[in-house]
A and B are shown apart, each in its own frame.
Chain A
Amino acid sequence: MPNYRMNLLVCGGTGCKASGSSEIIEIFEKEIEKAGLKDEIHVITTGCFGFCEKGPIVKVTPDNVFYVEVNSEKAVRIINEHIIKGRIVEEYLYKEPITKEFLPEQSDMPFYKKQIRIALRNCGFIDPENIYEYIAADGYQALGKVLSEMTPEEVIEEVKKSGLRGRGGGGFPTGLKWEMTRKSESKQKYVICNADEGDPGAFMDRSILEGDPHSVLEAMAICGYCIGADKGYIYIRAEYPLAIQRLRIAIKQAYELGLLGKNILSSNFSFDIDLKYGAGAFICGEETALINSIEGGRGEPTVKPPFPAQKGLWKKPTNINNVETFANICPIILKGADWFKSIGTEKSKGTKVFALAGKVNNVGLVEVPMGLTLREIIYDLGGGIKGGKAFKAVQTGGPSGGCIPKEHLDTPIDYDNLTKIGSMMGSGGMIVMDEDDCMVNIAKFYLEFTCDESCGRCTPCRVGNMRMLEILKEITKGRGTMEHLEELKDLGQTIKDTALCGLGQTSPNPVLSTMNFFWNEYVAHVKDKTCPAGVCTALLKYYILPEKCVGCTACAKVCPTNAISGEVRKTHVIDREKCIKCGACMATCRFNAITRR
Chain B
Amino acid sequence: MAGIKSLDELKAIRDKYRENIIGRDTSNSENKIRISVGMATCGIASGARDTINAIIDEVAKEKLTNVVVVQSGCLGYCYAEPTVEVRFPGKEPVLYGNINAERGRELVKKHIKNGEIQKDWILERTFKNI
Residues of A within 8 A of B (CB): 1, 3-7, 9, 40, 42, 44, 61-64, 84-87, 105-107, 125-126, 132-133, 135-141, 144-145, 147-148, 256-259, 261, 265-266
> Within the complex, what minimum Cβ distance (angstroms) separates A11 from chain B?
14
The main secondary structure of chain A at its interface with chain B is mixed
Q: A61 to chain B: which residues have CB within 8 Å?
A: 23-26
Q: B57 to chain A: which residues have CB within 8 Å?
A: 3
Which one, B16, B21, B23, B71, contacts A126 given CB within 8 A? B21
Closest to B5 in A: A266
Q: A136 to chain B: which residues have CB within 8 Å?
A: 14, 17-18, 20-21
> Within the complex, what minimum Cβ distance (angstroms) separates A354 from chain B?
21
A133 x B53 contact (CB < 8 A): no
B26 x A107 contact (CB < 8 A): yes
Give Cα A144–Cα B14 distance, bound, in whole angstroms.
12
Supply 10 further A-B pairs (C-beta < 8 A) apart from A86-B37, A145-B7: A61-B24, A62-B24, A64-B26, A85-B39, A87-B73, A136-B17, A136-B18, A144-B7, A144-B10, A265-B4
Give Cα A1–Cα B16 distance, bound, in whole angstroms.
10
Tell yes or no: B11 within 8 A of A by CB. Answer: yes
> Known contacts A7-B24, A125-B21, A133-B17: does B5 contact A85 (CB below 8 Å)?
no
Closest to B7 in A: A144
Q: B71 to chain A: which residues have CB within 8 Å?
A: 5-6, 86
Give Cα A9–Cα B20 distance, bound, in whole angstroms.
13
Closest to B36 in A: A86
Which one, B17, B18, B23, contacts A5 given CB within 8 A? B23
Q: A147 to chain B: which residues have CB within 8 Å?
A: 7
Tell yes or no: B130 within 8 A of A by CB. Answer: no
> Known contacts A3-B57, A86-B71, A141-B14: does B20 contact A265 (CB below 8 Å)?
no
Give Cα A80–Cα B110 distance, bound, in whole angstroms.
33
Q: A6 to chain B: which residues have CB within 8 Å?
A: 23, 71
Give Cα A590–Cα B60 distance, bound, in whole angstroms.
68
The size class of the interface chain B forms with chain A is: 35 or more
A140 x B10 contact (CB < 8 A): yes
A257 x B4 contact (CB < 8 A): yes
B73 x A86 contact (CB < 8 A): yes
> Within the complex, what minimum Cβ distance (angstroms) separates A22 from chain B?
21
> Known contacts A4-B20, A133-B21, A141-B11: does B26 contact A106 (CB below 8 Å)?
yes
Closest to B57 in A: A3
B7 x A148 contact (CB < 8 A): yes
Q: B86 to chain A: which residues have CB within 8 Å?
A: none
Residues of B within 8 A of A (CB): 1-7, 10-11, 13-14, 16-21, 23-27, 29, 36-41, 44, 49, 52-53, 56-57, 60, 68-73
Q: A87 to chain B: which residues have CB within 8 Å?
A: 40, 73
Q: B44 to chain A: which residues have CB within 8 Å?
A: 84
> Known contacts A3-B56, A62-B70: does B13 contact A132 (CB below 8 Å)?
yes
A85 x B4 contact (CB < 8 A): no
Closest to B14 in A: A135
B68 x A85 contact (CB < 8 A): no
Q: A141 to chain B: which residues have CB within 8 Å?
A: 7, 10-11, 14
| Sample (12) of A-B pairs whose CB atoms are under 8 Å apart | A1-B16, A5-B71, A7-B24, A44-B24, A62-B70, A132-B20, A133-B17, A136-B18, A147-B7, A148-B6, A258-B3, A258-B5
Counting chain A CB atoms within 10 Å of each CB, which of B17, B40, B44, B60 scores highest?
Answer: B17
Give Cα A63–Cα B68 distance, bound, in whole angstroms.
8
A138 x B39 contact (CB < 8 A): no
Q: B20 to chain A: which residues have CB within 8 Å?
A: 1, 4, 42, 132-133, 136
A5 x B52 contact (CB < 8 A): yes
> Known contacts A259-B4, A265-B5, A266-B5: does B10 contact A9 (CB below 8 Å)?
no
Q: A133 to chain B: which residues have CB within 8 Å?
A: 17, 20-21
Q: A40 to chain B: which residues have CB within 8 Å?
A: 49, 53
Q: B72 to chain A: which residues have CB within 8 Å?
A: 86
> Within the complex, what minimum Cβ distance (angstroms) separates B121 from chain A?
20
Q: B23 to chain A: which residues have CB within 8 Å?
A: 4-7, 61-62
Give Cα A84–Cα B7 distance, bound, in whole angstroms.
41
Give Cα A65–Cα B3 distance, bound, in whole angstroms.
38
> Known contacts A4-B23, A62-B23: does B73 contact A257 (CB below 8 Å)?
no
Counting chain A CB atoms within 10 Å of each CB, which of B10, B37, B52 scores highest?
Answer: B10
Closest to A122 in B: B21
B13 x A135 contact (CB < 8 A): yes
Q: B6 to chain A: which residues have CB within 8 Å?
A: 148, 265-266
A86 x B38 contact (CB < 8 A): yes
Q: B1 to chain A: which residues have CB within 8 Å?
A: 256-257
Closest to B52 in A: A5
